[in-house]
Amino acid sequence: MTPPSTPAPSLDERARRAFAAADKDRNGYISFQEFLESLRELQIAIPYHDALDRFSKLDTDKDGRVVETEYVNGYLRDLLGGNAAAPS
């Protein structure tokens, strides 16, 4: 049961994989419903409004869908920019 030895994926490769995993119906974007499901799969238990908040941060053009570019950018932003969401 040893995992195949693959070279460590780059950050945006990881982001793209995470995106593909979250896009359940493979229609090219993540809906909020899919986003909730992916959080659940990752066993990230966050309140509904936090999930909504994260989703809307990813959805930079606010069309209610997170496309791959938005996801990848958000993923990198999260890692590089820190996650210091100031309480409003």
To Ca ion, the closest distance from the beta carbon of 18 in angstroms equals 13
Determine contact, residues 51/39, Cβ cutoff 8 Å. Answer: yes
Site string for Ca ion, 61-80 (x = CB under 5 A): x-x-x---------------
Q: How many C-beta atoms surround the C-beta of residue 72 within 10 A?
A: 20
Of the candidates 60, 69, 62, 38, which has an alpha carbon nearest to the alpha carbon of residue 51? 38
3-state secondary structure (DSSP) of residue 29 = strand
Looking at the Cβ atoms of 23 and 74, the one nearer to Ca ion is 23
Part in contact with Ca ion (CB under 5 A); list of ranges 13-21, 24-32, 43-51, 73-81: 24-32
Residues in contact with Ca ion by CB under 5 A are 23, 25, 27, 59, 61, 63, 65
